[in-house]
Structure 1
Amino acid sequence: MAHETFQTVEGQLNWNAPMFKLYEKAKKNGKWDPADIDFSQDQIDFQRMTEDERVTSLPLVASFSAGEEAVTVDILPMVHAMANQGRLEDTMFLTTFMFDEAKHTEMFSRWQKAIGVGEMDLSVFHSDSYKRIFYEALPESMNRLTTDDSPEAVIRAATVYNMVVEGILAESGYYSFRQIFKKANLLPGILMGIDYLNRDEGRHLQFGIYTIQRLIAGNEKNRLIFNDYMDELWPDAYGVIEYLTSLYDIQMAQDWTNSSLEFDSDAMREYAKKQFEIRKRQVNRAKNYSSAAELDERLVKSKDI
């Protein structure tokens, strides 16, 4: 599509745009390098683990490793959609978003190499529910944006990518890493990486929440599209958590008297349910606004972004 004009020639960037504010946060807070993380203690810790303890840790890593790669390769259609709609500030933020996801992919791959499982096929730990989310729903919803940037298409893409993958599954994964390995004083390198990821994903979540909210403000039809798709995806999102916790429960059913790994799998399931409820509640706050313009005005005044 040929350009007819340019925003920064005819005028200025919208310095108060919510996504420009998020872009500025990304410039300031996204300065970390996966290559700087020291995984030497993780290598020692992993080698000292029993085989059962390793089986407990690898499915969680397998979920994140493939998940971060998926969101890296699948984000480009959203960038194109925002650019084609003339949303310059959103597009600027998404350039940092893409960079973040690439670093997340690198971090997990570096960790796998450092502890000696770089050549292991971890896809054996991907359940049917995981595949329906990451192998099917995510790329299908995102790739639709290449030919369809309608409100429905954008809502569905942001719902599966930001609300489900990042807002439910990744957040539940961070919780699990900390509950299992931080409590046991193990794997300090990957825990540092998780802290970086968590901070980046906070910005990504704000993008998703805002992107859906601006489309459902004053539009009940679009609000139902969001809620219906969240409900449709939830059984498989919860299925991912069920599978991971069931693997842990199987290991814990054995005699782990001497193991330092402890985890409350029921707490993880409840945490995931809570994230589902939080994401729906956050987005549905937009029903209190009659238009995207009113929503933007509130965000500027409240400085929530």
Structure 2
Amino acid sequence: MSLNEKQVESGDLIPSLDRSTDEVAWDLYRKAIRFGTWDPAAIDLSQDKADFESLDPDLQGYLIHFCTGFLDAEENVALKFCPWIMLGSSTEQQAFLSTQLLEEFKHTEFFMRYFKEVFGKERIPGVKNIVQQKLDDRVKKMLAALEQGPGDREAALVEGLTHYQGIIEGVQAMTGYEVFEAVYGSKGLLPGLAEGFARIKEDEGRHVGFGLRMLKLFARNPVHAKRIRAVYDDYLPYILIRYDQPVVVNGKEYPTPPEVRGRERLTKMFERRLKDIFGKPAAV
């Protein structure tokens, strides 16, 4: 297990505050070059196909639904991430943020391949994820801020970091990894998907760690702290919808496996992220 994976497992995602943000950003950029070069096309999915075909139909249906959520999310972020890079305040920060754009496309490629080679289908209609859908408005606000003064640009970046690194990756994706492990990975199933998640999780450990570090620093400003908390609070009901919705694949509804415990896991991850940023347990 690499250092980044260990940090993700332990929850110790945030790089040291002892160095400047530009130094941290450049270090993460270099790490992305060295460690983020895995190839989605190189992961062996042959056992996954066999495992999938041998699964109980209910677990097959849930897996397709579950992976649809990841494919939709990865692709949506990949297509919309450029404003985060553009709002970076230095070359070092923009360099690191640019690695996230490439990595989101790699994650998208992995899930597109999984649907084709393991499920034998392209994809199913999207899973409801309002936090993702709200990226459309977020992008418009961030692009508009590029034409405004430094204060407006910073405010837009704070909200963008909260929305993407803080919530989409920091809460929703991190919870998803736990769900996969509980339902499938702990049973030794789907080793290709397990490897893909491990690689993606390592990439997103860099993303989330940098984003939380930025938010932790921004939260020292009471105006930004209020803004960060407002985004988290406003989005909490939408976060919880992710695992409350019916599991429907090709018009058929499937039960949610009891190991999922989505609302419980999401709430705990939500509280952890607020503690990361504000340094104390958060009342939800």
Q: Same fold (TM over 0.5)?
A: yes
**3-state DSSP of counterpart to 1:183:** helix
Q: 1:22 maps to what in 2?
A: 28
Over 3 Å counting, the alpha-carbon distance change for 1:185 and 1:231 in structure 2 is same
Question: Does structure 2 retain, via aligned residues, the 8 Å contact 1:39–1:190?
Answer: yes
Q: Distance between the aligned counterparts of 1:121 and 1:107, measured in 2?
A: 16
1:64 equivalent to 2:70? Answer: yes
In the TM superposition, 1:127-206 aligns within 5 A as 127=128, 130=129, 132-135=130-133, 137-149=134-146, 150=152, 151-206=154-209
- SS of 2:87 mapped into structure 1: helix
Contact 2:28–2:96 at 8 Å: present in 1 too?
Answer: yes
Normalising by structure 1, report the TM-score: 0.76
The match for 1:232 is: 234
Asked if residue 102 in structure 1 is aligned to residue 105 in structure 2, the reply is yes
**Superposed displacement of residue 180, structure 1:** 1.0
**1:215-254 equivalence runs, <5 A:** 215-217=218-220, 219-243=221-245, 251=255
Aligned to 2:149: none
User: TM-score under structure 2 normalisation?
Assistant: 0.82
Residues 112 and 122 of structure 2 are in contact (CA less than 8 Å); yes or no, is this contact kept in structure 1? no
State the SS of the aligned residue for 1:139: helix
DSSP 3-state at the match of 1:31: coil
Partner Cα distance (2:268, 2:248) in 1: 19
- What residue is the counterpart of 1:265 in the other structure? 260
Larger radius of gyration: 1
Q: Give the direction of change, closer, same or farther, for the CA distance of 1:75–1:176 in structure 2 (3 Å limit).
A: same
Partners of 1:234 and 1:15 in 2: how far apart? Answer: 28
Q: Output the CA distance in 2 between the equivalents of 1:215 and 1:226.
A: 9
- Indicate if the aligned counterparts of 1:58 and 1:122 stay in contact, CA closer than 8 A: no
Rounded Cα–Cα distance in structure 1 between residues aligned with 2:52 and 2:82: 35
- Aligned equivalents of 1:120, 1:203: Cα separation in 2: 28
Do structure 1's residue 213 and structure 2's residue 216 form an aligned pair?
yes
Q: Give the corresponding residue for 2:17.
A: none
User: Could you tell me how far apart the structure 2 residues matched to 1:63 and 1:16 are?
Assistant: 33
Match runs of 1:25-44 below 5 Å: 25-44=31-50
SS of 1:32's partner is coil
The structural deviation recorded for 1:188 is 0.8
RMSD over aligned Cα, in angstroms? 2.4
| Identity score, percent | 26
Does the CA contact (< 8 Å) of 1:167 and 1:205 recur in 2?
Answer: yes
Find the partner of 1:283 among 267, 277, 281: 277
Distance in 2, Cα, partners of 1:232 & 1:148:
21
- TM superposition shift of 1:214: 3.2
On the 8 A contact 1:162/1:204 being kept in 2, the answer is yes
Change (3 A) 1:179 1:18: same
> Any conservation in 1 of the 2:52–2:118 contact (CA below 8 Å)?
yes
Deviation of 1:115 (Å): 1.4
Shift of 1:183: 2.2
SS in 2 for 1:190: helix
